[in-house]
Amino acid sequence: MSRIGKKPVAIPAGVTVEIKNDRELTVKGPKGELNRSFRPEVAIKQEGDSLLVERLFETRVANAMHGLTRALVQNMVLGVSQGYEKKLEIFGTGYLAAVQGNVLQVRVGFANEVHKEIPAGLTVKCPDNLHVHISGCDKQLVGQFAAEVRAIKKAEPYLGKGIKYEGEVIRRKESKAAGKK
């Protein structure tokens, strides 16, 4: 029995929800619009100003999909009402990032700049050369793009040079020379 799946999802003011065939959900809000269809083991129902996710079968797959579906619905509702944001920091001499049109340009010590196409539905800003702010209404898309940008050059453990999430702690290592006497 899924404890998460039993909780209703509150619909905030300014968000409209449309359900088709008990499995296809469209959520519209001030930050955007999201569509998703869910597995046949679960059904989504609207009661007043909340959404309920119900299992149609008593199987292991249905139990797993119950909590997952409720979490995905909650992420959709929060995304169109509040939105999601990931912040990245860049460390290193000569390392920088800039947005030009629909392309994120990152210079992180390679021979050439790395150009990353910004997906539709995302907003990428660089308040200065060393910070990148990625925001949008789709939690999965925001996290995926932030992970791709970070993977260009992860912060390395010796000097800390590279790209990391804001607030991420990099475990530092000693260099070889530190052990010699």
Quote the pLDDT of residue 181: 64
Q: Which of 35, 66, 81 is the last residue of a domain?
A: 81
Regions of the chain where pLDDT drops below 70: 1-2, 178-181
> Residues 90, 157: one domain?
yes
> Residues 131, 91: one domain?
yes
CATH code of 24's domain: 3.90.930.12
Quote the pLDDT of residue 140: 96
Three-class HEC string of the chain: CCHHHHCCEECCCCCEEEEECCCEEEEEECCEEEEEECCCCEEEEEECCEEEEEECCCCHHHHHHHHHHHHHHHHHHHHHHCCEEEEEEEECCCCEEEEECCEEEEECCCCCCEEEECCCCEEEECCCCCEEEEEECCHHHHHHHHHHHHHHCECCCCCCCEEEECCCCCCCCCCHHHHCC
Residue 161 lies in a domain: yes
> Residues 47, 60: one domain?
yes
Residue 88 belongs to what domain range? 84-165
Q: How far apart are CA 163 and CA 151, in angstroms?
A: 8
Residues 6+ apart with CB under 8 A from 2: 63, 66, 67, 70
Q: Which of 81, 116, 146 is the last residue of a domain?
A: 81
Q: Which of 29, 58, 81 is the last residue of a domain?
A: 81
> Residues 145, 126: one domain?
yes
> Residues 43, 60: one domain?
yes
Quote the pLDDT of residue 113: 95
> Residues 97, 69: one domain?
no
Residue 181 lies in a domain: no
Residue 61 lies in a domain: yes
> Residues 31, 75: one domain?
yes
User: pLDDT tens for residues 92-117?
Assistant: 999 999 999 999 999 999 999 999 99
> Residues 77, 102: one domain?
no
Quote the pLDDT of residue 45: 93
Residue 177 lies in a domain: no
Residue 174 lies in a domain: no
> Residues 69, 102: one domain?
no
> Residues 161, 91: one domain?
yes
Quote the pLDDT of residue 106: 96
Quote the pLDDT of residue 23: 85
Greatest CA separation found in the chain? 73
Quote the pLDDT of residue 179: 64
Number of domains in the chain: 2
Quote the pLDDT of residue 1: 56
